[in-house]
Structure formats: structure tokens, C-alpha cells
């Protein structure tokens, strides 16, 4: 599949149901090599990636599910969100959550269904590959900019091969477990996970396309 730039950018959406179909490791290598063309401050390229597949993928998923089921928590390596969160951002996040739950027919008070939905993060939505994105410990905010550009390139590059992704900060909520299971040293921060696989086109959840805020809400033209 070859997409033009506009189509690639606009058609990329997070997928949350994947087929039971393995990915050729060479494909992952190609996508990562493309992605590393991302801009970074002074070409520092601070990103590091761990490609988790096969038995390690299954082990990581199992242990993360156990942590979730037994309500164990860990401190993240970094603060994801500003505190307090401005109301307009809360509104957008709520809207996204509500619409996804509506599509999945999960009621507002259905705690069990919401828990099961959350747990799907840790079964990696059945994706065969979990990418872990790491930065050197004590990275600054600018390094996260570099990482974001790189991650977007990864997600776009995957489309070329008919693959899809779901970036997952949820995986970075268990940084110690991720480091231990995957043999990642303590001097690396776990920034995000990302499920990667062939999307299940028949899955209703994969039809979800969140809306975007109107340009006038976030763009100012000066002349
Ligand atoms: C850094 C980052 C972390 C995310 N973490 C999660 C996650 O843990 N679980 C999840 O289901 N989606 C996660 N998402 C996906 C967002 O919910 C999604 O990008 C957003 O709703 C916009 O939808 P789209 O990606 O389909 O365009 C994450 C996205 C980003 C960029």
C-alpha cells in the first residue's frame, strides 16, 4: 500500500483490535529506519526502541495483566500531564472516552466493562508486537519533542505495510515491571508503549475516529 502524505496523515488512527498474524521482523526494521529520519534537536536522536515479540511479548502482557488485576501501581518515570489540567482539555478527553465507550456499548456505571476495556491495553489489543519507546533517564521536555516526532514517523511508516498501531502511555505506567521483564537498564526511562499489528478491519472498535478541534480554537494568524 502506498499512500500520499495527506492520506497517510489523515488516515492514521489508533487501532484497538489486531489480527492474529505475525509481522516479519524485516518490516519493523524498515519502518524504524524510516522513522529515524525524524528531526531532533542538534540531531541528537535521543530515542531508543525495544521491539517486544514472541515469548517476551506474552510474558510482559501476562505480568502487566496480573499487576492490573491485583491493583498494583508504580510511579511513572515522568509526569505525563500538567496539573491541574485545563477544563477545555478535560472536555476533549471526556468526549473521546465517552464516544469510545458508546461505540463499545459500555455504560457509564459498568465498572466491570470499563476495567475489561482498560485491561485490553495490557493484552496489547492482541497485537503481536509491542514497541517500547525509551529515553535516557532525566531527559528534558525537549527530548520528549524529539521522541514524539519519531513516534509519529513510526505510526505513519507502518501504514505503508498495511500495519496499524496504538500508542500506549498505559504501558509506561509500569516502568519498573517493563524494565525488569525486558532487561532494560535503570538509566532508561520508559516513555510509551505501542501496539503494532495488522488491524482487524471487521472490529467495530477500529471504526472509531475521534473528531478534531476546529482550527480556530488553536491557531492564530498574525500579519
Ligand atoms: C502519547 C500517547 C499515549 C496514548 N496512550 C493510549 C493508551 O494508553 N491507550 C489507548 O487506548 N490509547 C492511547 N492513545 C491513543 C489516543 O487515545 C488517540 O491517539 C487519540 O484518541 C486520537 O485518536 P487517533 O489516534 O485514533 O487519531 C495514546 C496516544 C498518544 C499520542
Distance, in Å, from the CA atom of 146 to the CA atom of 144, rounded to the nearest integer, reads 5
Residue 3 pLDDT exceeds 80:
no
Mean pLDDT across the chain, nearest whole number? Answer: 97
Residue 136 host element (H or E) = strand 129-136
**Domain spans of the chain, in order of start:** 5-208
Residue 31 host element (H or E) = helix 25-35
Mutate to test the pocket of ligand 1, among 114, 168, 208 (most ligand atoms within 8 A of CB): 168
| Ligand 1 centroid, distance to 138 Cα (angstroms) | 24
SS3 223: coil
Distance, in Å, from the CA atom of 92 to the CA atom of 94, rounded to the nearest integer, reads 5
Instruction: Locate all alpha helices (DSSP H) within 49-199, ordered by sequence.
Output: 54-69, 87-103, 111-119, 141-159, 175-182
| Cβ of 152 below 6 Å from ligand 1 | no
Residue 1 pLDDT exceeds 70:
no
Transcribe 48-81 into DSSP letters.
Answer: EEEEE-HHHHHHHHHHHHHHHHTT-----SS--S
Q: Which atom of ligand 1 is nearest to the CA of 80?
A: 1
pLDDT per residue as tens digits for the range 7-61: 999 999 999 999 999 999 999 999 999 999 999 999 999 999 999 999 999 999 9
Average of per-residue pLDDT across 107-125: 96
* CATH superfamily entry for domain 5-208: NADH Oxidase (3.40.109.10)
- Using CA atoms, how far residue 96 sits from 92, 102, 134, 203, 211, in Å, is 6, 10, 27, 18, 8
Residue among 163, 202, 144 nearest 34 (CA): 163
| Cβ of 153 below 6 Å from ligand 1 | no
pLDDT per residue as tens digits for the range 143-194: 999 999 999 999 999 999 999 999 999 999 999 999 999 999 999 999 999 9
| Cβ of 165 below 6 Å from ligand 1 | no
**Residues sharing a CB contact under 8 Å with residue 136, sequence separation 6 or more, in sequence order:** 46, 143, 187, 188, 189
- Looking at residue 38, what DSSP letter applies? S
Amino acid at each position: 500500500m502506498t499512500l500520499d502524505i495527506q492520506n497517510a496523515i489523515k488516515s492514521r488512527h489508533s487501532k484497538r483490535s489486531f489480527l492474529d498474524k505475525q509481522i516479519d521482523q524485516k518490516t519493523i526494521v524498515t519502518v524504524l529506519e524510516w522513522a529515524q529520519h525524524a528531526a531532533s534537536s542538534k540531531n541528537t536522536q535521543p530515542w531508543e526502541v525495544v521491539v517486544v515479540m514472541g515469548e517476551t511479548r506474552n510474558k510482559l502482557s501476562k505480568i502487566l495483566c496480573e499487576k492490573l488485576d491485583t491493583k498494583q501501581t508504580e510511579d511513572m518515570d515522568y509526569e505525563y500531564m500538567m496539573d491541574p489540567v485545563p477544563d477545555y482539555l478535560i472536555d476533549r478527553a471526556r468526549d473521546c472516552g465517552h464516544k469510545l465507550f458508546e461505540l463499545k456499548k459500555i455504560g457509564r456505571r459498568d465498572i466491570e466493562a470499563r476495567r475489561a476495556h482498560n485491561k485490553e491495553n495490557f493484552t496489547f489489543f492482541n497485537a503481536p508486537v509491542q514497541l517500547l519507546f525509551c529515553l535516557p533517564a532525566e531527559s528534558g521536555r525537549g527530548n520528549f519533542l524529539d521522541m514524539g516526532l519519531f513516534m509519529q514517523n513510526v505510526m505513519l511508516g507502518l501504514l505503508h505495510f498495511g500495519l496499524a498501531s496504538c500508542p500506549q502511555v498505559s504501558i509506561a505506567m509500569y516502568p519498573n515491571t517493563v524494565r525488569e521483564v525486558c532487561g532494560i537498564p535503570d538509566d532508561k526511562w520508559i516513555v510509551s508503549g505501542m501496539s503494532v499489528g495488522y488491524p482487524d478491519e471487521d472490529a467495530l472498535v477500529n471504526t472509531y475516529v475521534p473528531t478534531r478541534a476546529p482550527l480556530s480554537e488553536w491557531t492564530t494568524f498574525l500579519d
